[in-house]
Structures are given as structure tokens and as C-alpha cells.
Structure 1
Amino acid sequence: MDKAIITLTKGGTELGMKLLEHIDKAVLYTNPKFYIKEKHVKKIDGKIVEFIGKIFNKYKCLIFIMATGIVVRSIAPYIKDKKIDPAVIVLDEEGKNVISLLSGHIGGANEYTNKIASILNANPVITTASDVKNTLAVDTLAMELNCEIEDFQDATKVTAHIVNGEKVGIISDICIGRVLPENMVEIDFKNKPHEEFKGFIYITDKRILSPVESDCVVLRPKNIVIGIGCRRKKPVDKIIEAIEDSLISLNISKKSIKHIATVDVKKNEEGIIQAAKLLGVPLVIVDREKIKEVEDQFKGSEFVKKRIGVCAVSEPVAFLSSESGQMIQKKKVYDGITIAVFREGEKKNGNCCNRN
């Protein structure tokens, strides 16, 4: 379950039951007085403010069917940062208005609001300037392209230029694959004078400093795959050092790592597991049978083959888990640790391609 519907009234419970019919992965929490013994319906335990504290970070989206004032007071103690707060939506119990209250862009509240309003034939209430003016905020673009924003203060400055109708240039290493507002222009920075632009958006996995005097934000596409092989019990700090050294030599940001990949025989290797956790990325395990299908494309070792059944690890696991991506670093050896780096391949849907 990633969505919670919360209500305190009989009418709200009835509306909540209706939403449950149309919304996947949702649970309804209601006042015990109006509890209905149905699947995915639960009782609110204790005072509403304390109860919200228990579930605030448990769900991606909180859908309240109650007065906005109650909701604001209930969530206020738990709001931290728009990067991590859940989407918060408020409905009246008649289902006439659906309000996007918190985490409109990154949390997805605006998108959820429109979907719920469509289900109920209700009025969606969205107040973020970029949506009202039918333009594009930096955080929305980042979410659409699966990019990490390097600095949210920079994103706010550049979004302000966009909303105010000022010209913003986009310098991107990946295909954007969507129609942009008229004042957002894809440019080749080397050949385009920048005086006419009030801000810039760089979309790149390369390590760069702020490249212009104007307001600038850097978006990091999640397109770098790290393949790892190692001897048993290699410590996590040595694995992190090997990854960092490889990325520095390639001039690539750690923020663009999509995942780490290794072979199934290493799935319980603590150093690799901890490295993925420290970097905040998934660990992808590749079956040896899959590696056997492609291992002849890579330089291997008979010694490794005798030990684990395949002749290579870091290159084939990165290749296989990167959608047949582009190798940007062949296997590099660091005292019992091997690192290969791939840039993710072209998406199958054709909406995104690699320009590097």
C-alpha cells in the first residue's frame, strides 16, 4: 500500500469507500464510529494528530477527506522537506473539490489531484504557479526525466524565471522527449550567446561547476550503471573508493548512478550491499546463466570461471543491467575489486536517447 485515505465522518467514509474502488494500493482509515469491516479499511487509533505522526512517512500519498484546517494542524508537526514529504491531498466529504496541499511536484500531489478529480468529476484545486500558468517547473522536468536536482535553491531560482516568462536555456546530454514552453529553449551552449537567457538548466551526468554567471541548476540523469566483482570480504570503504576513483577519472557525478550490479554468487557480499546503501542506489543481482549468454563479448579469466562458473563479472553485469548500454570504462582492477562503468542504453519507447 502506498496511499492512505483518512476521514473522520460518515460521509467521508462513504466517499473513501468509493475512492477505494478506483485507486490502486490504497487503504482507508476512518473514525471507529463509522468503521466498516471491509478489505483495506482500518480504524484510526487515538487522537488524529498522533495518528498522522505514525503514518506520515509510511505512505507516498495521504488523501484527507475533512476540513483543510484540521489537515494543516495535523500534518504541521511532521513536515520536513519537499524532497521527502509525502503528497498531501484534501477533499470535502461531498467530493466537490480536490486540493493539492503539499508536495505538488516531486511528491506527485498535483498529478494525484487531477486523477482523483477525474474519478469524482470534481474541481481540482492546484495553486503552484507553473501549473496555473501552464508552464514547467524545474522539479517537474526532473521528475519526468528521472533526474536528481543537484541544488533545490538553484531550481527555485530558475523556476521563477520560467514562471515569469523569462528565457531559460537548456543544455542537455539526453533527449528531453517533450514539448517545452516557448521561453524554455534547448541550446548548444558553445555556439549560443547566453546574454539573452536569464537562467540555464544543465542536464548531464558530467561533473561540472556552475558554468555561467546567470542562475543555473544542474539535473543529474540516473543513467550510470556500476558493475562490480570482488574477492570475498572486501571492505565497503575500499569498494566505495574504487567506485569514486573510476567516476572521477571519467568526470562523472555520483548523483547519476542508477544502480550497482553484481553476479548472483555475490548477492550476500556485505561490502557490496553496504556500498549500494551508502550511495543510496539499488543493488541489481544478475544470474550467472544470463552472463553465460554474453560473456564471450568480454575479456575473461579462466581462474574466475573455475571458481564461479563464468569468466567475467563486472562488465557483463553492467552491460546486461544497463539495457545493452555504452561501456565508458572497461574492467578496472583495484586490489581484488573490479569496476566497469556503463551508460544506460537507449530506452525502448524511443522517448529518450543518449547524446554522449
Structure 2
Amino acid sequence: MEKISVLAITKNGVKIGLSLKELYPSWTVFAPEKFSDNASEIEWYSESTSEKIVKLFKTSDALICLFSLGAVIRLLSSHIKDKKTDPAVLVIDDKTNFVISALSGHLGGANELTEQIAKKLGAIPVITTAADVNKTIPVDLVGREFGWKIDDDSTVTKISALMVNEEKIVDVSLNENINQIEIDGGEGVGMVTKPGLGLEINKPAINPTPK
């Protein structure tokens, strides 16, 4: 993420913003001019918070709001468009008890950033995306670390729901081509040492796992 903005609207929020600035010097912290003490670490603004938050939402890769989740929802609800383009939005309460991933948890990186900040602040990370709480694979992030991209995301939601609900996604039959599959190694793979298994000796094969 190149541009991360922090928005504070209370005195405690300003203190939290300064703490975040110390931890992440490249982030920009914004707060109302009425709280100004001329601190150079803060970008003081004179317009209304409702105007400021919309500007930051449209120009930031991630927006961290240091006030209530309800207020954030009311201020941004009409500007939320698409999880592929909306920035990550996080919420931190006035006492840094919780860091909440509010929007664009996967594609926007809000979940990962939430975990990171919560650890730094000693706060509780709040992540509600089903794939994360159920410890399943977030389909929309598969292969992202390798630079993979989804050309057609029309079935992502459906497949994600099937995974979360532990339902069958697809049937794959390997009976006809089983001898064409080559396994080089990896977790759960061993070397064939015993004859009579129908497998070539001294070749890798998957170790069956008892259930």
C-alpha cells in the first residue's frame, strides 16, 4: 500500500494518530483544526469531517478511522462501490481496545493490516470475513503472492460459500490418467520402498493419512 491515511476526530484520536505516526512514519494523520497544537506530524483540516473522509476514501489505499464504526458506516455508505476498487477501511476505537477490519478485508488488504496494527498497539483484531474465522482458503487471494490475477470473478462468491460451508465444489476423476501423474515431493509425500503396492519402487508417492 502506497498511501495510508489516518483520520482522527477526537483528542484521544489525535493521540492515537500520533502513536501510529511514530510506528509508521510514511502514514499521514489528519485531524480537525480545532484540536491543533501546531504539531507538524498532523495534517490539520478546516472542512467538515464528512467532506474530509470522502476525499480520503477516494484518494487512499487504506483509510484508518479513529472513531466509531457506526459513524464510519454513515459517512461512507453512499460512496462504497466495489471490493476490487474500494480502499481498505479500518476502525480503531478511542481507547485502542479494538482494531476492526471494516471494508475490503481481502483484496484491499484490510485484514492483514488489522492484524499488523493490533499487534503493534496491543489491541484485539476484529476480523469477520468467513474464510478467515473458519480458517479456509480465501478464494479471491489464491496465488496473489505469485502475481496471479482472476480474469473472471463471477464464481468467486459461490466457490467461497461452498468452501466455508464445507460443501463439494467439483468432482475430479483421475482413474483414466492416474499413471500419468508424477509426484516429485512435498508434505505428505514419501518414497515407495515395499513391493506389492502397485507402485514403482524408489519413486515418490503420497502417503495415505488414516482418518
TM range (shorter): 0.7 to 0.9
Query: Does the 8 Å contact 2:62/2:89 carry over to 1?
Result: yes
Tell me if the contact between 2:29 and 2:43 (Cα under 8 Å) persists in the aligned partners. Answer: yes
2:106 aligns with: 105
Which residue identity is paired with 2:145?
A: E
Which deviations, in whole Å up to 9, do the C-alpha atoms of 1:179-219 show, x marking residues without a partner?
A: xxxxxx9x979847xxxxxxxxxxxxxxxxxxxxxxxxxxx
Q: Structure 2: how far apart are the matches of 1:39 and 1:190?
A: 70
Per-residue CA shift, 1:256-295, capped at 9, x if unaligned?
xxxxxxxxxxxxxxxxxxxxxxxxxxxxxxxxxxxxxxxx
- Give the structure 2 partner of residue 116 of structure 1: 117
What is the alpha-carbon distance in structure 1 between the residues aligned to residue 130 and residue 85 of structure 2? 21
Gaps of 5+ in 1: 170-184, 193-356
3-state SS, counterpart of residue 51 of structure 1: helix
Q: What is the rounded CA distance, in whole Å, between the counterparts of 2:153 and 2:40 in structure 1?
A: 40
Measure the CA separation in 2 of the matches of 1:51 and 1:70.
13
Q: Which segment is superposed worse, 5-14 or 137-146?
A: 137-146
Find the aligned partners of 1:188 and 1:22 in 2 and give their Cα distance. Answer: 52
Q: Which residue of 1 aligns with 2:74?
A: 73
What is the match of residue 160 of structure 1? 161
Task: Give the alignment's TM-score, normalised by structure 1.
Answer: 0.46
From the superposition, tell whether residues 21 and 71 of structure 1 become closer, same or farther in structure 2 (CA, over 3 Å). same
Q: Which one-letter code corresponds to 1:74 in the other structure?
A: L
- The alignment partner of 1:57 has SS state of helix
Equivalent position of 2:48 in the other structure: 47
Structure 2: which 5+ runs fail to align?
179-211
The size of the alignment, in residue pairs, is 176
How far, CA to CA, are the matches of 1:123 and 1:190 in structure 2?
51
Is residue 126 of structure 1 aligned with residue 127 of structure 2?
A: yes
> Is this contact kept in 1: 2:98–2:126, CA < 8 A?
yes
Considering fraction of residues, name the structure with more strand.
Answer: 1
1:87-141 alpha-carbon deviations (Å, 9 max, x no partner): 0000101000011000000000000000010011111000000000011111121
Distance in 1, matches of 2:12 and 2:31, equals: 11
Aligned-residue CA RMSD in angstroms?
2.3
The TM-score with structure 2 as length reference comes to 0.76
Matches of 1:109 and 1:75, distance apart in 2: 16
SS at match of 2:115: helix
- 1:179-190 matches, cutoff 5 A: none
The alpha-carbon deviation at position 33 of structure 1 amounts to 1.8
> Which letter does structure 2 place at the counterpart of 1:41?
I
Q: Is the 8 A contact 1:61 1:87 kept in 2?
A: yes
Partner residue of 2:88?
Answer: 87
Match of 2:23 in 1: 22
